[in-house]
Structure 1
């Protein structure tokens, strides 16, 4: 009897980022070595991100989506492409790929209670500190995930929260372990701090506070994210703190309901969420310089690709000059 797990592993030949696949396509534009490609996390919509498939796992960029559309036309008989996402507009993607079928796979989440601030705080770091202390003191056991905008904010929060917890009256609450989670951590700290994913009984304190930029009982959402923006007038990039979208807010809240009923503390009023937050994040292709994209498409040297009319899911603005 063939072991199903072994058989499945034989199907998984390569795991790549989309950047690696895009470079590979420079020498092999038809990607004949692959018969099944799964683009995972497609809602990220970045110029270079992360992805998954049977023959291949790589990232999902808007350029890659356009190239997949071309390949499907040229290799309709021997190529299958699957695009997976928790939040991407399936009907929009279906129209882009000439009416391809859409499969909805329901997921089971526990209920999440969303608690809004009465007004937007002038200092979201201070507001997040107060909220985390309130949860720590008043709520039953459960880990806390706090979304911040980047490493600097996370470092400030870790230092201040540790200090405030130490200054609480003895016996007023349980101990807490405060852990940062971000890509700049040394590998050994990343490995130890990612015990966030270990749900087995452990001897750690009964509350753990995690700080992340992007499976908890409690989530604190500051409502902001750092986003790279390109200014076509100056020809320069900036890294700005901007409001998240409703899709991002809902993704953050969902992390409180993965393993148990949870609560999401949103540090902004519900009116702001409903009236001012964008429905979805602006794709990176619409807020970036097009120089790299144009050079890559030109390097493919494919006679059937018109760079000025390349088929993007969301075409970039003509104002985004090189």
Structure 2
């Protein structure tokens, strides 16, 4: 870039120095009339026949497909065309993120010339667009894990493709272990059937062969099932094939080349003290000095994204009218799927699109038109301390692998530029790759699912990379305390089985089950839905007093859970009233205006409504009784204490709180309605470690309830 004056202010410039890197990408979203030519032009098309042959020859295949090779969209179609869906079988393709499952399914349906949900479909949490005729199914890895609860042998699938395996999410790692187990069971079942098939009793019944096979109990359950061998394809965008190959007993690995487009990499001359301000400065530098092309900006979460978006709009208003040709769009995991799709729409003619994204945009999705990437070099990552039993989301530096993936977004359609908001010397200090999520998160949800799948020996489960024994032990203890497991650490019935059927954190699942008994399930459904999304309230710095005043209209003196319920019920009442008056579309517009006036995140609220309706159907299916406690909030708070007893805290003489389970000294987060209230005993939903140790989403309880409602955990003297 041209020489610039160093500045930390949004209206200044940042000095960058130039480096060079190579990346790639064709356009997956060309017009329908060019689809055939586009498919033929993909690098993977030249090896279609050989790839199919290799899949036929190997039960497990590792494919390292460079960015832009076409592996995600094309391989399932090649397999379908080669007869892998005979006898009504399905090809399943997993993705770590729901937005990828949705967008790729839509693209493949378009390429096949079929309606989405017929031959090609997708399933993500709370949304299923498939039918009995679906033969190519894209889904999140977590969704396939839940599907295994109903069909432990995944008998409908002939091939399962695990895409983006290099991301090493906790669900991906567990899924690989499960698939290895399922594949062995199905292979042994075929062998068993073959070896005894010729032996018939006089009445024609098959004589069962007794042997010492450790899977014999499972094989007996397989009798009568139409099970065929299961093919596994593990796809990765990075060169770590040896990890997966070794895990699957020396499985064959192949590499598919992609097209290479150069990406010029720029580093800042000096460290940046505020990466958000630096990102905004860089966006406007690119807009004023660089050729047309969209900008992708990586940020750590919804709050940062919305803050930067607002500042961009304010800065645009200060520019001459002919320089305001910039359109912002956002993408993050909690954003409803239909709103995530907006990033794929082209910018209006003459406008530059600025995509503000979390690391969801690193590898999982292909957004057309990107020519510039702004990378602050940080990411929000889970961190779990199994000794203290406390989990937090903290902002940490990216790995080198992440930085390379991010810069590659600029080279998917042609030459591009990446602006890293840190000096080159800092890049050299980064870790080579990201630590697998399974080694840095609470395993309670994963272990509950494994128990539901019949995996009793968690310590002996064949993880691709084993989590620590301490982490496993802590999660087992937590599930035991929640009543999901028996004293023998078996899945309890009915509580454990009911919890396993709900796609929620175990403590939230238990809260719903208890709420049915406390006759406040209506309230708990709302609370859990609202806790499942990010940032219902937002407090812009420039309108902080107005935002806090608006929040007081909904605030409950008893805490945040009831405050969230007040917001939800007020919004639903307004929405239903307006629907009857002006219709659904206009009612939604009124709702957005109401949210803006009350400093409520309309996207999060809408997402909470969707989750609420889905969870409500699920709790009805498992037989829970839905009733309301009405104005008797005491019952609701007692239910919270019974469910969240592990997250209780007592006030200390200095005004801080001590979390009873961990002994940690914590403070109430400033966003809580109880921030300046000093109740003697509270329960919280979340521990957040930033500059201080904070607890969030808090409700006041009576400390005596803990010994009454959780006597198995709290001694009388406490």
TM-score by length of 2: 0.39
Specify whether residues 37 and 83 from structure 1 end up closer, same or farther in structure 2 by C-alpha distance, changes over 3 A only: same
Which residue matches 1:296? 449
Cα distance in 2 for residues equivalent to 1:187 and 1:300: 29
CA shift for structure 1 position 73: 2.6
8 A Cα contact 2:299 2:358, kept in partner: yes
Higher normalized contact order (CA 8 Å, seq sep 6+, divided by chain length): 1
Which residue matches 2:181? 70
CA shift for structure 1 position 286: 0.3
Write out per-residue CA displacement over residues 238-273 of structure 1, whole angstroms, 9 at most, x where no aligned residue: 111111111111111001001120000001122211
Task: From the two aligned structures, give the one with the greater helix fraction.
Answer: 2
Q: Structure 1 residue 168 and structure 2 residue 319: aligned?
A: yes
Specify whether residues 65 and 88 from structure 1 end up closer, same or farther in structure 2 by C-alpha distance, changes over 3 A only: farther
Cα distance in 1 for residues equivalent to 2:386 and 2:348: 53
CA shift for structure 1 position 68: 1.5
8 A Cα contact 2:316 2:324, kept in partner: no
Which residue matches 1:51? none
Write out per-residue CA displacement over residues 79-121 of structure 1, whole angstroms, 9 at most, x where no aligned residue: 1100112126101100110011111111113110111112331
Cα distance in 1 for residues equivalent to 2:154 and 2:340: 35
Which residue matches 1:207? 352
Which residue matches 1:52? none
Larger radius of gyration: 2
The 5-angstrom pairing of residues 154-193 of structure 1 reads: 154-168=305-319, 173=323, 175-185=325-335, 189-193=339-343
Which range is displaced more, 83-92 or 145-154? 83-92
Specify whether residues 314 and 186 from structure 1 end up closer, same or farther in structure 2 by C-alpha distance, changes over 3 A only: closer
Q: Structure 1 residue 226 and structure 2 residue 380: aligned?
A: yes
Which range is displaced more, 65-74 or 307-316? 65-74
1:242 to 396, 409, 416: 396
Question: Which SS does the other structure have where 1:254 is aligned?
Answer: helix
CA shift for structure 1 position 17: 2.9
The 5-angstrom pairing of residues 14-163 of structure 1 reads: 14-48=137-171, 61-76=172-187, 78-87=229-238, 89-163=240-314
Q: Which runs of 5+ in 1 are unaligned?
A: 49-60
Specify whether residues 268 and 319 from structure 1 end up closer, same or farther in structure 2 by C-alpha distance, changes over 3 A only: farther
Q: Structure 1 residue 266 and structure 2 residue 377: aligned?
A: no
Cα distance in 2 for residues equivalent to 1:231 and 1:174: 47
Specify whether residues 205 and 319 from structure 1 end up closer, same or farther in structure 2 by C-alpha distance, changes over 3 A only: farther
CA shift for structure 1 position 181: 2.6
What is the aligned-residue RMSD (CA, Å)?
Answer: 2.6
Cα distance in 2 for residues equivalent to 1:17 and 1:186: 15
Cα distance in 2 for residues equivalent to 1:289 and 1:184: 20
Cα distance in 1 for residues equivalent to 2:146 and 2:242: 30
Which range is displaced more, 156-165 or 107-116? 156-165
CA shift for structure 1 position 236: 1.9
The 5-angstrom pairing of residues 277-316 of structure 1 reads: 277-301=430-454, 306-316=457-467
CA shift for structure 1 position 130: 1.2
CA shift for structure 1 position 72: 2.8
8 A Cα contact 1:219 1:252, kept in partner: yes
Write out per-residue CA displacement over residues 163-213 of structure 1, whole angstroms, 9 at most, x where no aligned residue: 223323566x56222222334446665444431xx4xxx743342212111
Question: Which SS does the other structure have where 2:469 is aligned?
Answer: coil
Question: Which SS does the other structure have where 2:296 is aligned?
Answer: strand
Specify whether residues 221 and 233 from structure 1 end up closer, same or farther in structure 2 by C-alpha distance, changes over 3 A only: same
Aligned length: 299
Which range is displaced more, 237-246 or 10-19? 10-19
8 A Cα contact 2:383 2:391, kept in partner: yes
Which residue matches 2:557? none
Which range is displaced more, 263-272 or 204-213? 204-213
8 A Cα contact 1:42 1:88, kept in partner: no
Cα distance in 2 for residues equivalent to 1:187 and 1:265: 29
Q: Which runs of 5+ in 2 are unaligned?
A: 1-79, 82-111, 121-132, 191-228, 360-367, 476-718
Structure 1 runs, 4 residues or longer, greater than 6 Å off: none
